[in-house]
Structure 1
């Protein structure tokens, strides 16, 4: 049976600091390869989630305006524990 190894947080941070230049280089290379042919480059990695969030908020606030009548308030949920586990 394999033994489990416990690593303290301080030891983990020490290893991260020790290998920080390597981690930086690998992440930098990965991002360069991923966005090499993209028109917006690195900006696209931030812009894409923001645009998706904007699109979803527009869709759910304007297109689906149906309000749910009398949605149970938070104290009422204690009476119906089934709602909490769905």
Structure 2
């Protein structure tokens, strides 16, 4: 991971921790890069749109809703791996 990858992952984690006041309680622990966001309910049908807006804001690129596959948003690490490469610095 490069420094920009680490920075993007930290931004993703900060977003996820602020997504819902109960998110970490729902996960049973602090949200870390490998917390299963789907299984714990941190990412649900309502929060997917907030995640989409966050990713578009952070990457500066349009992210089609159909690109948000469950496996690409399952953990903060996978979000970082898939969408971090789309940031302007990575281009």
Q: What range is the shorter-chain TM-score in?
A: under 0.3
Name the structure with the higher helix share: 1
TM-score, length-normalised on structure 2? 0.22
Question: Greater RCO between the two (CA within 8 Å, min separation 6)?
Answer: 2
TM-score w.r.t. length of structure 1: 0.23
